[in-house]
Amino acid sequence: MLTRNCLLLFLWILVDEGSVSSIRPPSPPLGRSRTGREHTRSLVGPMRNGAAGFQRVKRGWVWNQFFVLEEYMGSEPQYVGKLHTDLDKGDSAVKYTLSGDGAGSIFTIDQTTGDIHALRSLDREEKPYYTLRAQAVDINTNRPLEPESEFVIKVQDINDNEPKFLEGPYTASVPEMSPVGTYVTQVTATDADDPTYGNSARVVYSILHGQPYFSVDPKTGVIKTALPNMDREVKEQYQVLIQAKDMGGQLGGLAGTTTVNITLSDVNDNPPRFSKSFFHLRVPESSGVGSAVGRIKAHDLDIGKNAEVEYTIVPGDGGAMFDITTNEHNQEGIIILKKPLDYETKKAYTFKVDAANAHLDPRFQSFGAFKDTATVKINVLDVDEPPVFNKPAYVMDVYEDTPAGTIIGAVTAQDLDASGSPVRYSIDWKSDLDSYFDIDPVEGTISTNELLDRENVAQHNISIVATKLSNPVLTSRVAVTVHVLDINEFPPELASPYETFVCENAKAGQVIQTFSAKDQDLPSAGQQFSFKATREDLKHNKNFTIRDFGNNTAGIVTKRSGFRRRLQEIYLLPVVIEDNGYPPKSSTGTLTIRVCGCESDGSLLTCGAEAIFLPVGLSTGALIAILLCIIILLVIVVLYVGLRRQKKKETLMSSKEDIRDNVIHYDDEGGGEEDTHAFDMGTLRNPKVVKENLYRRDVKPEMKRGPRLPVSQESADIRDFISQRLKEHDTDNSAPPYDSLATYAYEGDGSVAESLSSIESLAVELEEDYDYLNEWGPRFKTLAGIFGEQSETQSDSTITENTH
């Protein structure tokens, strides 16, 4: 490295002494008339005072950028370059100054020779370049001989930084059984050296540890699989050591390393397998339906969802008795009992169970069926069971007031075990605290122990206990519900006192009233009433009869017509009502029928002298007559109003009948030329905008305007403006190194009146003749009149000034 630095320093010395253009460009010869480099810079227009135009002399020296080696370890200050101007004749009359980044602290300049040195070692990674400004001044007067110039000193890079993995260590995964060349991940190393200079930042990647399983691309750092059929079940974790070396991997380059932890992710490449082909289970016959009777398990070497197992029972002997589900946590097969077991009926069951993966990978189906089969045998164990009733519950009915000791029903229970032990019955005393019932302990018959009263307790709920004689500990219970039936104690009667009437114009066979019955006994869903007339009434009553509708209602039916209130106003009709209770009860009710006057449609008008049946308000005929009168009055009013309007309309039109022509009236007022030229239409569109002192465009303004003096070429403003622009161009460092013409204004040619600008006018004509405007056509007529008037005004003003 030291040899390389010395060689570069030697080249810098040769460049400086030989004036090599790469280090310091040759300066043009001193003078303001350099061939090909000096241009006379003219003003944009002639000076107003007639003086010669300014000339800008290009500087006699131009700086290029310099280079300095970083990490310089020499004892002497490092030489950077030399500044020189053509104005320097070697007589020490020129002094060079340096300013900018690091001037005086990092870089120094010999004021006489212009040599620049670096005072200390520089680091390119800390600051890659420095921007400085240099100027040549007269050593005696300190007057600048040239404008200040800017140049750059770049720090030349050396390989002093090793590559670094900023994101390491890395973690990646790749599916197991992946083919060779499968992408795993990518690593990236950064080098702080200059990538544009040499090979200091050119990084090459390589694997130090992790072969032959993985490979890395030397340029991109992409890691791929290098070995086929890597099995996760054999080895899951790999640690790969990656090296990044600069200088293109050549000898002497700096290197950095990082670790990549690679995990093989699981794929479904293994089927489930039972640990054994035969499973033997034992289940008590007392096991409840839905309970788990056993567990089996098939093991899968995969993990996650690839290890999920589905169990199914092969249809056969045990398919109807058992079912199997999967435990999601440990993937066990849980055998569930579907139906009750009975040792006396069947003592063993044998069936097959299949275990298969839920999520298959089609890439590995060629390996064979991804399932396994095992045989399960379940032996039913005999259990000493309690007696079993032949019914789950019993319901019995008994009439109230039944004599004590009457048998109302029986229960039956038996021992289903092979022993067939006798059974004894008893009543749980907690369910029959008042001892209303008794049971035969051997036969199981239930009888009443005392009289029952439905009005006191309508339903009794008792519990019967069956005990196994051979094992009194084993008992079973059954619920018995005893309904106390009501004895028919009350006869039925009419539901309400009906107010019935028959019209004088009623016809034979007409139902004039519907009625029902009620009973004070306990109503039940099957309670039924029947209605009929008395035997005597059936023989002698020729006016009315009873018709039973069969739905606990009946109706009064007329047997004739021609009822007259004057002859008989009230009829009495007895009716016999009978229920279906035990024992049946019946009663006779009387219906009162009143004869009333009715309309033809059957609506009631009057029933004798009782006010409750008198009609309230007017009759229907009277109301209709009143409505007709109101309608007629409204029609008359409408016709009267219509005639009045018709007469008024004819009166209004009579004044226009004398006009023979049809006159069309418009409210719009047409505009003319005066409307469009005399007013500003914009003001009419926007009333908010009101401009004062608006002049009519078709009339000359009466106000006398003062003469407008043309701009003189001797104007100080224009002269100062052009001088300022010249100075800006002279001191502009971004300007090209040659003189150029700057144009400040441009005026196109081709106008009939030539140029109207006063910029190029050497003298101002105070008296201008504007008669030529009359020759330009009618469009300039108004303009010619205005400027003609100004010319006269200016002439008058000139005469006045001369007079004064």
pLDDT at 203: 92
pLDDT cut 70: percent of the chain above it: 74
> Mean pLDDT over residues 240-255, rounded?
88
Strand-pair category, 371-381 with 278-284: parallel
pLDDT at 18: 37
pLDDT at 218: 93
Residue 96: exposed, middle, or buried by beta-carbon count in 10 A (0-12, 13-18, 19+)? buried
Q: pLDDT tens digit string along 663-721?
A: 555 555 555 544 444 445 554 445 444 444 444 444 445 544 444 445 455 567 777 88
How far is 102 from 107, CA to CA, in rounded Å? 6
Same-domain pairing of 277 and 261 = no
How far is 640 from 632, CA to CA, in rounded Å? 13
Most confident by average pLDDT, 60-69, 625-634, 740-749:
625-634
How far is 312 from 293, CA to CA, in rounded Å? 16
- Indicate the helix (H) or strand (E) that contains 538: helix 535-540
> Quick check: bond before 46 cis, omega within 30?
no
> Mean pLDDT over residues 11-38, rounded?
36
716 three-class SS: helix
650 three-class SS: helix
756 falls in which pLDDT band (50, 70, 90)? low
Residue 644: exposed, middle, or buried by beta-carbon count in 10 A (0-12, 13-18, 19+)? exposed
> Quick check: bond before 340 cis, omega within 30?
no
298 falls in which pLDDT band (50, 70, 90)? very high
Looking at the domain assignment, is residue 792 inside a domain? no
749 falls in which pLDDT band (50, 70, 90)? low
Sheet holding 107-109, edge to edge: 78-82, 115-118, 107-109
Adjacent-strand bridge partners of 570:
594
pLDDT at 221: 94
pLDDT at 465: 95
478 falls in which pLDDT band (50, 70, 90)? very high
pLDDT for residue 42 is more than 70: no
Q: Which of 29-33, 324-328, 363-367 has the lowest mean pLDDT?
A: 29-33
Q: What angle do CA 591, 599, 507 make, to 5 degrees?
A: 55
Domain C-terminal end among 265, 287, 309: 265
Q: pLDDT tens digit string along 203-220?
A: 999 999 988 999 999 999
Q: What angle do CA 289, 290, 292 make, to 5 degrees?
A: 110
Domain C-terminal end among 156, 179, 195: 156
> Mean pLDDT over residues 251-279, rounded?
90
| 354: number of Cβ within 10 Å | 20
pLDDT for residue 375 is more than 80: yes
Q: Which of 337-351, 371-385, 698-712 has the lowest mean pLDDT?
A: 698-712
pLDDT for residue 332 is more than 90: yes
pLDDT at 128: 85
pLDDT at 733: 64
Q: Dihedral of the CA atoms 697, 698, 704, 710 (nearest 10)?
A: 60
> Mean pLDDT over residues 325-337, rounded?
92
Same-domain pairing of 406 and 343 = no
How far is 740 from 720, CA to CA, in rounded Å? 20
Looking at the domain assignment, is residue 704 inside a domain? no
208 three-class SS: strand
When comparing pLDDT for 710 and 393, which is higher? 393
pLDDT at 739: 52
pLDDT at 69: 81
pLDDT for residue 35 is more than 50: no
618 falls in which pLDDT band (50, 70, 90)? low
Looking at the domain assignment, is residue 702 inside a domain? no
Length of the chain (residues): 804
pLDDT at 611: 37
pLDDT at 736: 58
Same-domain pairing of 547 and 478 = no
pLDDT at 21: 33
pLDDT for residue 60 is more than 60: no
Same-domain pairing of 149 and 170 = no
How far is 590 from 530, CA to CA, in rounded Å? 15
Range(s) of the domain holding residue 358: 273-377
When comparing pLDDT for 754 and 97, which is higher? 97
Same-domain pairing of 318 and 400 = no
Looking at the domain assignment, is residue 705 inside a domain? no
Same-domain pairing of 249 and 300 = no
Same-domain pairing of 307 and 398 = no
Same-domain pairing of 235 and 255 = yes
> Quick check: bond before 169 cis, omega within 30?
yes
Looking at the domain assignment, is residue 734 inside a domain? no
Tally of domains within the chain: 5
Same-domain pairing of 311 and 372 = yes
pLDDT at 385: 82
Looking at the domain assignment, is residue 588 inside a domain? yes
- Nearest partner of 745 among 44, 52, 48, 41, judged by Cα: 44
pLDDT for residue 640 is more than 80: yes
Domain C-terminal end among 265, 294, 316: 265
Supply the mean pLDDT for the chain.
77
pLDDT for residue 526 is more than 90: no
Same-domain pairing of 471 and 420 = yes
Measure the N-to-C terminal CA separation of the chain; round to a whole number of Å. 95
pLDDT at 671: 53
Looking at the domain assignment, is residue 536 inside a domain? yes
Q: pLDDT tens digit string along 122-160?
A: 888 788 889 889 888 988 888 888 888 888 988 877 777
List the CATH number of the domain containing 597. 2.60.40.60
**Residue 723: CA atoms inside 13 Å, Cβ hemisphere, count?**
10
722 falls in which pLDDT band (50, 70, 90)? confident
- Indicate the helix (H) or strand (E) that contains 720: helix 716-730
pLDDT for residue 486 is more than 50: yes
The predicted model scores a pTM of: 0.41
pLDDT at 794: 57
- Nearest partner of 575 among 670, 658, 492, 485, judged by Cα: 492
> Mean pLDDT over residues 76-105, rounded?
85
Residues with Cβ within 8 Å of 520's Cβ and at least 6 positions away in sequence, in order, are: 489, 490
> Mean pLDDT over residues 627-637, rounded?
91
How far is 589 from 428, CA to CA, in rounded Å? 50
pLDDT for residue 608 is more than 70: no
When comparing pLDDT for 336 and 527, which is higher? 336
Looking at the domain assignment, is residue 246 inside a domain? yes
Most confident by average pLDDT, 48-62, 405-419, 745-759:
405-419
Same-domain pairing of 171 and 134 = no
pLDDT at 539: 83
pLDDT at 148: 86
Same-domain pairing of 78 and 116 = yes
pLDDT for residue 752 is more than 80: no
